[in-house]
């Protein structure tokens, strides 16, 4: 199944299929609580998903800022959203699908077969003149059963340390954070030695994902091609799932390092590279 769905396609699907479940995953770094905006207007029937508390685990800082939730926590959240076996799940947000991608990635890697992301999100839906609903949606509790997260989709901190010597490791943060010119959140600036920079912003244009051919070209420009092991990390494991989604559109399998820079930079003994690869300077963390 294609990982993206357009507003027009979703509108048609909603009219024909009663088993469509909409999830509103509004979140961003400077405004992590998206519920107020959700209450002001969302897709009809959409349930609000709290990324900070349902799609992440609040744990030890050494695990990163947004560790993956255990299966039981995610399953209870999915049941709160009303999900049942056989549902067609569509997730969206209002900022280039970065937060929506986290929900897409977690659910698909937990065995939910039909999960798509609304291409263009809330803004594209509104631009098509499609209706919104205000207030909260509290669905009847679901009964879905999730699998343990697919281990092959997840890279641990020791995995990414060795990754550049057997594949391509993508740092998907802004170039200035990758180079170490600035670091507004984590204790150390720079990147994992051997990682190459491919910011998430290159995957979208006008709020929507670029074509599969354009995405493949972007990945290929940094050595990430089909058949080459590819892993991605970001600041805390959110934006990296957006790169995994772009990879799925392009036909490239991308493993995610959930701990990302927030874990790496908080772990003693991990080397840090600054500047541009390959002529980056490596210093102790």
Give pLDDT tens digits for 54-112.
999 977 778 999 999 999 999 999 999 999 999 999 999 999 999 999 999 999 999 99
Q: Which of 232, 234, 245, 256 is catalytic?
A: 234
What does the pLDDT look like over 123-159, one tens digit per residue? 999 999 999 999 999 999 999 999 999 999 999 999 9
Q: What is the CATH number of the domain that holds 171?
A: 3.40.250.10
Residues 207 and 248 in one domain: yes
Q: Are 85 and 112 in contact (CB under 8 A)?
A: no
Q: CA 16, CA 43: separation in Å to the nearest integer?
A: 16
Token pair, residue 267, equals 């772990």
Band (pLDDT 50/70/90 cuts) for residue 283 is very low
Token pair, residue 95, equals 């900022």
115-118 vs 88-92, strand pairing mode? parallel
Residues 75 and 160 in one domain: no
Q: CA 176, CA 41: separation in Å to the nearest integer?
A: 35
Helices and strands, counts by H and E, the chain? 11, 13
For helices 212-220 and 239-250, angle between their N-to-C axes, nearest 10 degrees: 120
Per the structure, the complete domain to which residue 214 belongs is given by: 154-284
Work out the average pLDDT over 163-192. Answer: 95
Known catalytic membership, residue 234: yes
Q: How many domains does the chain have?
A: 2
pTM: predicted TM-score of the whole model, two decimal places:
0.95
Q: What contacts 96, CB < 8 A, 6 or more positions away?
A: 121, 200, 201, 204, 207, 242
pLDDT at 277: 60
Residues 33 and 126 in one domain: yes
97-128 burial: b if 16+ Cβ within 10 Å, else e: bbbbbbbbbbbbbbebeebbbbbbbbbbbbee
Band (pLDDT 50/70/90 cuts) for residue 172 is very high
Q: CA 213, CA 251: separation in Å to the nearest integer?
A: 10
- Given a cut of 90, whether residue 173 has pLDDT beyond it is yes
Residues 123 and 44 in one domain: yes
pLDDT at 279: 41
Work out the average pLDDT over 109-119. Answer: 98
């Amino acid at each position: 199944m294609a990982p993206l769905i357009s507003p027009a396609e979703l509108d048609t699907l909603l009219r024909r299929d009663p088993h469509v479940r909409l999830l509103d995953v509004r979140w961003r770094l400077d405004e992590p609580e998206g519920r107020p905006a959700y209450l002001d207007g969302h897709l009809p029937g959409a349930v609000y998903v709290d990324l900070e508390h349902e799609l992440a685990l609040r744990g030890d800082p050494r695990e990163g800022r947004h560790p993956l939730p255990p299966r039981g926590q995610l399953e209870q959240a999915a049941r709160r959203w009303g999900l049942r076996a056989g549902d067609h799940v569509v997730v969206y947000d209002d900022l280039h699908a970065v937060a929506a991608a986290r929900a897409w990635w977690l659910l698909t890697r937990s065995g939910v077969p039909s999960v798509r992301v609304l291409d263009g999100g809330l803004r594209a839906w509104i631009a098509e003149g499609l209706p919104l609903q205000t207030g909260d949606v509290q669905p009847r509790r679901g009964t879905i059963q999730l699998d343990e997260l697919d281990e092959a989709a997840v890279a641990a901190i020791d995995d990414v340390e060795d990754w550049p010597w057997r594949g391509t490791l993508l740092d998907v943060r802004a170039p200035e954070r990758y180079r170490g010119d600035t670091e507004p959140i984590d204790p150390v600036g720079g990147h994992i030695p051997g990682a190459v920079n491919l910011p998430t912003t290159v995957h979208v244009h006008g709020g929507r994902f670029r074509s599969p051919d354009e995405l493949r070209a972007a990945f290929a420009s940094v050595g990430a091609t089909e058949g080459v092991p590819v892993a991605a990390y970001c600041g805390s494991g959110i934006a990296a799932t957006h790169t995994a989604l772009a990879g799925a559109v392009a036909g490239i399998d991308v493993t995610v390092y959930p701990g990302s820079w927030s874990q790496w930079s908080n772990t003693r003994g991990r080397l840090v590279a600054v500047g541009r690869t390959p002529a980056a300077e490596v210093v102790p963390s």
